[in-house]
């Protein structure tokens, strides 16, 4: 099969890789209907995370089940399925508490590489959720978004306790931040402030439910959020970047007793204990337990109540994956969909 | 009147101070029935927090109302009242959300100094809660504990979401940690692990409801908590120290999706963002909004359902305050009660 491989920072290639096979009775193999490039794929692409040897890339996936191991009970060949970036058994104590991305048996899908024609999915029963039927083509981008960026934005909104009567601010205007806006709206927040200085992203934020746009960053951005919230700060702040600046912007934009949901993968962040202590914020986040939300998200997409696939503003065949990475790195694209 | 003054690190004196008067129509003046020394008073005593000039000390207080300003409606002279270490209006949006210690009009009582015979309490209506009647003498230590250490331990337990079915670990065996044990028990947790290597404190922890004692600290302490929790960590961890070591011990002792309630005043703490991200813990704490809990705590003490006054293991007349500080500094006493 063909699959994306990162040979060194900046060097993305589509190469021949061996077809995956069932290696454990709990595995499934799926044929991808589409895959995509994640903002977090840019960390090794930019050399900020080390690249050790040729690395298969990608951890977002939807597709049709080709084959399942003997122990698989809940999905079967021919079904269209959505999974998340950690395979999980969905039965351990941590999974049952809703933290499947910390499952005691979790497997990171990024190490297997979903930017490929076929993908082995471990712990298929716990990981994969089937749609009611084969979806029409126009819904496939939405389901693919559910695999990570929608699920991650949703977790950010849940961790920030977005909901009726709560003003939400969103730090970060990538796909996760934009879908955090959508999630906050779905969860019932009436007022949603998107922090973005990029006009096309501002527009999409408004379409997803943002009521206010703040273009300032850092201390000025915090001051603008305070201006908009009676001097107090937002009740809920979704952090979707992962840098020191964005984390402090999120914490400082939150009122005492408010909630920060942080889902940008943390890089080089050190939180000052004393400031955090006196901030009185609730801080929660981490790798989103997307599996917790998949049944609900699939239902919303299937019934066309949300259209998260709109974050894909560049569609390329798999063979042009390198251009897909480049466009996102240069912020010419929000998110690249790869087709077969 | 007589009052405790810290002249420089280690130099505690009882001096003549001017009697307080009503300076705003929302003030009350109370005559203290007892006061006490807080673990946080030891930070300036030890020179870890700067001491700028002679500083009146103390922020914990119970007593009888002597006089109220014209605008005070809910307390009156002759009532026995309990307040907290921040005066608060109890009407602003932040107070109504239960974060009175971040009230937009808050006044730190430590700057006024409650280790004295008389105390001016700003925002009396929002700050003071009266007991049903004048209490018998043996209940006074309990009400004094409610003013800070009980309320703080209680907030730690609430922030850590202690409750039925949730295993709680407590980092720190000072008065706050011990009362965090008591709070976790009251909130319904059946299993409470106190981390302490001091035998008298272990005994009090057990009397307050601890079911397990862990004497190890740091990584070994974390490993012991994991051993006791099926390898996963506690659901709820109360942090009651405020150092880098204790914060990391608390975070690492918590299972993914679990809650850290941190109430030890943070000193020199820097939290590593990446570890926090992948820990999946919920982090909440800060200066306890004791006022939120006072009505409930007063009711529990009045009806003798809890006896938090047992954390006072040294009782001295005000004039011997210096010895009270020394005994706590040297860990010869858990907490010093000062009488008149």
A273 near B CB under 8 A: yes
Q: What is the mean pLDDT of chain A?
A: 97
Residue A15 token pair:
């190469």
pLDDT at A330: 95
Do A114 and A33 touch, CB atoms closer than 8 A? Answer: no
CA distances (Å), A316 to each of A35, A160, A339, B59, in order?
A: 10, 34, 6, 65
- H/E/C letters for each residue in B70-101? CCCCCCCCCCEEECCCEECCCCCHHHHCCCHH
For B138, phi then psi, to 5°, come to: -70, -15
Same domain, A236 and A262: yes
Per-residue pLDDT in tens (0 to 9) along chain B, 340 residues = 999 999 999 999 999 999 999 999 999 999 999 999 999 899 999 998 888 889 999 999 999 999 999 999 999 999 999 999 999 999 999 999 999 999 999 999 999 999 999 999 999 999 999 999 999 999 999 999 999 999 999 999 999 999 999 999 999 999 999 999 999 999 999 999 999 999 999 999 999 999 999 999 999 999 999 999 999 999 999 999 999 999 999 999 999 999 999 999 999 999 999 999 999 999 999 999 999 999 999 999 999 999 999 999 999 999 999 999 999 999 999 999 999 9
Q: Residue B115: CB partners within 8 Å, gap ≥ 6?
A: B3, B4, B35, B36, B37, B56, B57, B58, B318, B321, B338
pLDDT at B49: 87
DSSP 8-state symbol, A109? G
Residues of chain A with C-beta less than 8 angstroms from the C-beta of B269: 272-274, 276-277
A230 near B CB under 8 A: yes
C-alpha B221/C-alpha A252 separation (Å) is 33
Substitution target in A256, A271, A288 with the highest count of B β-carbons within 10 Å is: A256
Q: Which of B99, B231, B280 sits opposite A99 (nearest CB)?
A: B280
Same domain, A105 and A132: yes
Do B264 and B239 touch, CB atoms closer than 8 A? Answer: yes
Among A98, A101, A65, A69, residue whose Cα is nearest residue A86 = A101
Residues of chain A with C-beta less than 8 angstroms from the C-beta of B104: 231-232
Q: Which of B98, B247, B256 sits opposite A94 (nearest CB)?
A: B256
A244 near B CB under 8 A: yes
Same domain, B15 and B130: yes
pLDDT at A75: 98
B271 near A CB under 8 A: yes
C-alpha A197/C-alpha A204 separation (Å) is 12
C-alpha B103/C-alpha A257 separation (Å) is 11
C-alpha B31/C-alpha B1 separation (Å) is 10
B91 near A CB under 8 A: no
**Nearest-10 Cα torsion for B19, B23, B25, B27:** -50
DSSP 8-state symbol, B50? -
A270 near B CB under 8 A: yes
Choose the final residue of a domain: A246, A261, A285. Answer: A285
Residue A306 token pair:
């949300």
Q: What is the mean pLDDT of chain B?
A: 97
Residues of chain A with C-beta less than 8 angstroms from the C-beta of B241: none
Do B71 and B89 touch, CB atoms closer than 8 A? Answer: no
Q: What is the mean pLDDT of residues A208-212?
A: 98
A278 near B CB under 8 A: yes
CA distances (Å), B296 to each of A47, B88, B302, B303, in order?
A: 55, 18, 10, 11
Q: What is the DSSP string of A198-260?
A: -HHHHHHHHHHT--EEE---HHHHHHHHHHHTTTS-EEEEEE-S-SHHHHHHHHHTEEEEEEE
Same domain, A169 and A94: no
Do A334 and A175 touch, CB atoms closer than 8 A? Answer: yes
* Helix (H) and strand (E) counts in chain A: 12, 19
Among A236, A89, A73, residue whose Cα is nearest residue A158 = A236
CATH code of residue A184 = 3.40.50.720
A165 near B CB under 8 A: no
Choose the final residue of a domain: B257, B285, B313. Answer: B285
CB contact under 8 A, B94 and A232: yes
Choose the final residue of a domain: A250, A267, A285. Answer: A285
| Predicted confidence (pLDDT) per residue in A256-285, tens digit | 999 999 999 999 999 999 999 999 999 999
Gap from A70 CA to chain B (nearest CA, Å): 30
Query: Can you give the residue range of the structural domain that contains A194?
Result: 154-285
CATH code of residue A34 = 3.90.180.10
Tell me which long-range contacts A271-275 makes (C-beta under 8 A, separation of at least 24): A271/A247, A271/B270, A271/B271, A271/B273, A271/B276, A272/B269, A272/B270, A273/B242, A273/B244, A273/B247, A273/B266, A273/B267, A273/B268, A273/B269, A273/B270, A273/B271, A274/B266, A274/B267, A274/B269, A275/A251
Same domain, B259 and B280: yes
Same domain, B55 and B128: yes
Range list of β-strands (E), chain B: 2-8, 11-16, 28-36, 55-56, 62-68, 80-82, 86-87, 107-108, 118-121, 129-130, 168-171, 192-195, 212-214, 234-239, 254-262, 270-272, 282-285, 314-317, 336-339
B269 near A CB under 8 A: yes
Report the residue of chain A nearest B266, measured CA to CA.
A274
Residue A265 token pair:
């993968």
A99 near B CB under 8 A: yes
C-alpha A337/C-alpha A328 separation (Å) is 11
Gap from A102 CA to chain B (nearest CA, Å): 6
Report the residue of chain B nearest A271, measured CA to CA.
B271
B163 near A CB under 8 A: no
Same domain, B32 and B127: yes
Same domain, B60 and B133: yes
What's CA A211's distance to the chain center, in Å? 22
CA distances (Å), A223 to each of A178, A259, A293, B214, B274, in order?
A: 22, 18, 34, 45, 27
Q: How many domains does chain A have?
A: 2
Same domain, A126 and A10: yes
Is residue A71 very low, low, confident or very high in pLDDT (cuts 50, 70, 90)? very high
Same domain, B43 and B80: yes
| Predicted confidence (pLDDT) per residue in B233-258, tens digit | 999 999 999 999 999 999 999 999 99
CB contact under 8 A, B232 and A284: no
CB contact under 8 A, B277 and A256: no
Report the residue of chain B nearest A232, measured CA to CA.
B94
Q: Residue A162: CB partners within 8 Å, gap ≥ 6?
A: A168, A183, A184, A187, A188, A189, A236, A238, A261
B108 near A CB under 8 A: no
Q: What is the mean pLDDT of residues A97-106?
A: 98
Same domain, A21 and A120: yes
Q: Which of A257, A279, A286 sits opposite B97 (nearest CB)?
A: A257
Residues of chain A with C-beta less than 8 angstroms from the C-beta of B93: 230, 232, 255
- The strand pairing partners of B11, in sequence order, are B8
- The strand pairing partners of A29, in sequence order, are A67, A120
Same domain, B299 and B311: yes
């Amino acid at each position: 099969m063909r699959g994306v491989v990162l040979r060194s920072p900046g060097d993305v290639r589509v190469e021949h890789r061996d077809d995956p096979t069932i290696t454990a009775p709990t595995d499934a193999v799926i044929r991808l209907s589409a895959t995509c490039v994640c903002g977090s794929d840019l960390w090794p692409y930019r050399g900020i995370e080390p690249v050790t040897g040729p690395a298969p890339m990608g951890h977002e996936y939807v597709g049709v089940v080709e084959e399942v191991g003997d122990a698989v009970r809940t999905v079967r060949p021919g079904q269209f399925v959505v999974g998340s970036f950690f395979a999980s058994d969905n039965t351990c104590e941590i999974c049952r508490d809703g933290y499947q991305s910390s499952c005691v048996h979790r497997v990171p899908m990024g190490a297997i590489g979903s930017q490929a024609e076929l993908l082995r999915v471990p712990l298929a029963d716990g990981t994969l959720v089937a749609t009611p039927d084969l979806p029409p083509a126009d819904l496939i981008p939405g389901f693919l978004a559910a695999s990570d960026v929608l699920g991650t934005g949703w977790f950010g909104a849940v961790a920030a306790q977005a909901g009726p009567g709560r003003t939400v601010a969103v730090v970060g205007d990538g796909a996760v931040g934009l879908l955090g806006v959508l999630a906050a709206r779905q969860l019932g927040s009436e007022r949603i402030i998107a922090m973005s200085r990029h006009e096309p992203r501002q527009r999409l934020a408004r379409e997803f439910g943002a009521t206010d746009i703040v273009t300032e960053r850092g201390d000025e951005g915090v001051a603008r959020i305070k201006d908009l919230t009676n001097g107090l700060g937002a009740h809920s702040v979704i952090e979707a970047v992962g840098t020191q600046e964005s984390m402090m912007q999120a914490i400082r934009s939150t009122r005492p007793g408010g909630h920060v949901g942080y889902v940008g993968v943390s890089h080089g962040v050190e939180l000052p204990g004393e400031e955090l202590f006196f901030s009185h914020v609730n801080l929660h986040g981490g790798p989103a337990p997307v599996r917790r939300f998949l049944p609900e998200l699939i239902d919303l997409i299937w019934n066309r109540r949300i259209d998260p696939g709109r974050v894909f503003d560049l569609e390329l065949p798999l063979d042009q994956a390198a251009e897909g990475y480049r466009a996102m790195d240069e912020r010419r694209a929000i998110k690249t969909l790869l087709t077969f």
